[in-house]
Amino acid sequence: MSLRTHFTRPTTLPTAVLLAGALMTAGLTGCSALSPFNSCDDTTARLKDLRSQSILSSTPEGATAPKGFEPADSGCIDDSGDAWLYAERIYAFPGSRQKVVDFYRTTAKADGWRLQPDPVNPDIAATEGGLCFTKGGNGDALLLTVQFTTARQLKIEHGYDAGPEFDSGSGFEIEVGSETDGAKTGCWD
């Protein structure tokens, strides 16, 4: 929509002043009557789709879900102004982080996921920074992350007292996420 450089009707100026005032008030209060952001409304079907992603239950041999984390946790977060859907699983693994990285590079690729290297920090090893993949296009885009975790992080983030399964090896979280409308999103946006 193009803006005119001059007004042709006598009601245009008062309308423009009112609109400018409303937009300024919305901007000052952090709210917007013309919000471009999505909410968590009507996201049940999309959340079900995220929870059903087979990659969430694909694990390296020997990985186990800690007690209480057996089913996928999922939800919609809209505290940033734009809603985000997620489904995640947490696993303990008695092997190395490198085995987890190798497993997901192979398994995710076979399932149609595309690895997205970190353009800002390309020298950070995946065993430290984790992995991020994308899949789909506009309307059905998904994001997959594999991040390593520790017993201490589980306590801080989830209030979980990890048992002996986190005493050795690698703990990791795998999450499939999406915009509420499936809009294309990237790992490093």
Asked if pLDDT for residue 109 goes beyond 70, the answer is yes
CA of residue 7 relative to chain centroid, distance:
45
Q: What mean pLDDT, rounded, does the chain reach? A: 80
Stretch 124-131: mean pLDDT: 91
User: What is the model's pLDDT at position 37?
Assistant: 60
User: What is the model's pLDDT at position 33?
Assistant: 40
Three-state secondary structure string covering 37-91: CCCCCCCHHHHHHHHCCHHHHCCCCCCECCCCCCCCEEEEECCCCCCEEEEEEEE
Q: Radius of gyration over alpha carbons of the chain, in Å?
A: 22
Q: Answer for the pair 60, 100: CB distance below 8 angstroms, yes or no.
A: yes
CA of residue 177 relative to chain centroid, distance:
4
Q: How far apart are CA 133 and CA 116, in angstroms?
A: 5
What 3-state DSSP class applies to 7? coil
43 or 32: whose pLDDT is higher?
43
Bridge partners (DSSP) of residue 147 are 173
Q: Which two tokens stand for residue 108?
A: 């995710």
pLDDT of 134-188, one tens digit each?
999 988 999 999 999 888 888 888 888 777 777 777 799 999 999 999 999 889 8
Q: How far apart are CA 177 and CA 145, in angstroms?
A: 8
- Binned at pLDDT 50, 70 and 90, residue 36 comes out as low
- What percent of the chain is modeled with pLDDT above 90? 46
Asked if pLDDT for residue 93 goes beyond 70, the answer is yes
Asked if pLDDT for residue 98 goes beyond 80, the answer is yes
pLDDT of 58-78, one tens digit each?
999 999 988 878 788 999 998
Asked if pLDDT for residue 16 goes beyond 50, the answer is no
Helix residue spans in the chain (DSSP H): 12-29, 44-51, 97-110, 126-129, 151-158
Q: Answer for the pair 135, 113: CB distance below 8 angstroms, yes or no.
A: yes
